[in-house]
Amino acid sequence: MIKRSTLTELAEALQGIPVYGCIPGSPAERAGVRLGDVLLSVDGQATATWLDYIAVREKSGDSIRVRVFREGAELEFDIPLQRVTNTAAAVAAAMSAMGADAADGPAPPPAPLN
């Protein structure tokens, strides 16, 4: 299992968002996203920060295509979406559920990519 600090450093080097875990049963988990992945893009748009993710997610349709880095390879997953009215609030709630807070740095654990 990759250490949190190592994953954070890898994500920073790849200019992506570290995946510290997915909420059990979330669309991201069901699609195959897992602990240790680095989220690189959503629908072809780079996601170096959570603000990037939120901006793309708010414009998305019924699903998103995410590209992640895992164990030396890039993988893509199609994730069906659950509509939310406030993406930023959904991200904050998921961060809280995953045990993250602002002190964790600029790349908190991903919300379920739903």
Is residue 114 in a domain?
no
Q: Tens of pLDDT along 70-93?
A: 999 999 999 998 766 666 666 676
Q: Assign 3-class secondary structure to 88-112.
A: HHHHHHHHHHCCCCHHHCCCCCCCC
The answer to whether position 73 is within a domain reads: yes
Please answer whether residues 43 and 56 qualify as being in contact, where contact means their C-beta atoms are separated by less than 8 angstroms: yes
pLDDT tens digits for 1-27? 889 999 999 999 999 999 999 889 989
Q: Give pLDDT tens digits for 37-55.
A: 999 999 999 999 999 999 9
Predicted TM-score of the model (pTM): 0.74
Asked, for residue 32, whether it belongs to a domain, the answer is yes
Q: Which domain holds residue 18?
A: 4-104
Burial of 30 (0-12, 13-18, 19+ CB in 10 A): middle
> CATH number, domain at 98?
2.30.42.10
* Residue 17 domain-assigned (yes or no): yes
Total domain count, the chain: 1
Q: Flag whether 110 is in a domain.
A: no
In-domain check, residue 71: yes
Q: Which long-range contacts (CB under 8 A, 24 or more apart) does 105-109 make?
A: 105/8, 106/49, 106/50, 107/8, 107/11, 107/12, 107/16, 107/17, 107/18, 107/49, 107/50, 108/20, 108/50, 109/18, 109/19, 109/20, 109/21
Q: Would 50 be classed as within a structural domain?
A: yes
Q: Is the residue at 111 inside a domain?
A: no
- Cα distance between residue 7 and residue 35, in whole Å: 9
